[in-house]
Structure 1
Amino acid sequence: MTNPAIQIALQLQPQHADYATLRDRVREAEDLGTDIVFNWDHFYPLYGDPDGKHYECWTMLGAWAEQTSRIEIGALVSCNSYRNPDLLADMARTVDNISDGRLILGIGSGWFERDYTEYGYEFGTAGQRLDVLAEALPRIEERLGKLNPPPRRKLPVLIGGGGERKTLRMVARHANIWHSFSDAETLTRKLAVLRKHCADIGRDPAEIEVSVGTGASGEPAEVAGPLLEAGATLFTVGVGNEGHDLGQLKSWLAWRDSQ
């Protein structure tokens, strides 16, 4: 499998901060040479004060598209349940045009029950949500092909999740990037499953970039080494505490530049 260049992403979690702080961190991340800045698609904080400050995903991506000029941007990941798939395709196309072709369309089936119950969405079961995602992905692709103007490039699709029977089959068929929070042993096993799904449909697995979360601690060289050997090339640092300090991101960027 031919690996692309190592990339470092920041997931700037839109919680526990005023928007001015988030705006400043996006600017700082771009100035530091970060490859991608993601947010996430939730309505409440995932940790810390559960009723703390929080902002909506796609509105923010539109602002980032205007604010930035080099980095790629996207959601890690957009929840399929919250928007009609044709509407999501249109939103993604619009943000991609605003950014001059820098959007990554991250998508997943959804999991945070409070989002669903507070905002009036049917939560269902994990299997049902995955089935709905499988139905949505072809609709998104079809709508992207009809929109005028179209996206500025063929939108890279990132699918998040690690389910071997349903999610990885969708990754094989639809994704350009697969994201998980796997350790090296788990990643190796799941990549074998993904390669099997790719073989079933005649797709080259080298077309799919492998993305992993870096976790909360550990030296980048120690954390990344086994993951890099397993096949990961995109490493995402999550930041969501008060102040949104980028110290860990700087360490990962230094490691990337040393390779």
Structure 2
Amino acid sequence: MTTGDVTTAATQPVRIGVQLQPQQAPDYGMIRDAVLRSEELGVDIVFNWDHFFPLYGDPDGPHFECWTMLAAWAEQTERVELGALVTGGGYRNPDLLADMARTVDHISGGRLILGIGGGWFEKDYEAYGYEFGTPGSRLRTLGENLDRIERRFALLNPAPTREIPVLIGGGGERKTLRLVAEHAHIWHSFADLEALRHKNQVLAAHCQDVGRDPAAIARSVSFPKEGGAVAEDFVNEGVSLFTVGVGGPDYDLTELRDAIAWRDAR
């Protein structure tokens, strides 16, 4: 490790996730098949995302909703953890979202990760009647909602099967990383290697302010296009979760297979 603020890679096993982007697939069976193939390959986590429209290709092309899909995946799979990378933090009443998460947690036998972020795609908000606001207002809402989700988890009957891991995506140093320090079990960063080194230091300072060990927060990034050699550099900065993004309609898992082979060879 080049910093003293993150637990060493040796203490956290490296895991591989896949984000199956639920778009451009006109038949849901294509997505179901990709989930099964991913689990059979040995992936650790299967993610989708929480958008209402495609982010590439035909902007009005096929697309499916996030949380109903996660409930189906919970029944379909046996081993993998699952979640959204990430849920739009302002799309749902947070008490309802906590109940949804608790329910998927039970359906899956305790395999849900609650991925959440501030949201950013304006079309999602406008088309579905949500106030888009500003980056600052969306992060304020996210912080308020995380508090409400935690309170609701404590009230639900039956309770979640475990302390549901919270993954927060984003890299804003003043607000997002503060929320990571306060609430997250996993932090998903979109930063490159140099930026990650800096943001690790910022997160460590936030953790010190709130009395939390930064080593308790797993680091997550996309699997680098350059492959395993560059991934090792991220491991040396404390990253233990790498996710490969795969889009429809074909859901080519070649890159995922390579990432899993790298994980297994370490």
How many equivalent pairs are there?
257
Residue 123 of structure 1 aligns with an amino acid whose one-letter code is: F
The one-letter amino acid of 1:44's match is: F
C-alpha distance in 1 between matches for 2:248 and 2:104: 27
User: 1:151-190 maps to which residues of 2 (within 5 A)?
Assistant: 151-190=160-199
Runs of 4+ in 1 over 4 A off after TM superposition: none
Indicate the SS of the match to 1:234: strand
Query: Which of 211, 231, 244 is 1:224 aligned to?
Result: 231
Alignment of 1:1-259 (within 5 A): 1-3=7-9, 4-17=12-25, 18-215=27-224, 217-218=225-226, 220-259=227-266
Query: How far off its partner does 1:248 sit?
Result: 0.4
TM-score with structure 2 setting the length: 0.95
Shift of 1:230: 1.4
Q: How far apart in 1 are the matches of 2:83 and 2:249?
A: 22
Take 1:96 and 1:60, find their aligned partners in 2: how far apart are those partners?
A: 13
Residue aligned with 1:66, SS: helix
Q: Aligned-pair distance for 1:29?
A: 0.6
Look up the SS of the partner of 1:55 in the other structure.
coil
User: What secondary structure sits across from 1:92 in the alignment?
Assistant: helix
Between 1 and 2, higher relative CO (CA 8 Å, sep ≥ 6) is seen in 2
* CA deviation vs aligned residue, 1:108-142 (integer Å, no higher than 9, x gap): 01000000111111000000000111111111000
Shift of 1:214: 2.1
Identity over aligned pairs, percent: 63
CA offset at residue 229 of structure 1? Answer: 1.3
CA RMSD in angstroms, aligned pairs only: 0.9
Partner Cα distance (1:194, 1:202) in 2: 12
Amino acid at match of 1:98: I
SS at match of 2:154: helix
1:26 to partner: Cα distance: 0.4
**Which structure 1 residue ranges, 5 or more long, are not aligned?**
none
List per-residue Cα deviations over 1:173-192 (Å, max 9, x = no partner).
Answer: 10000001111101110010
Aligned partners of 2:52, 2:235: CA distance in 1, in Å?
Answer: 33
Question: If the length of structure 1 is used for normalisation, what is the TM-score?
Answer: 0.97
Task: Classify the secondary structure of the residue corresponding to 2:23.
Answer: coil
Measured after TM superposition, the shift of residue 228 of structure 1 is 1.2
Distance 2:63 2:189 in 1: 24
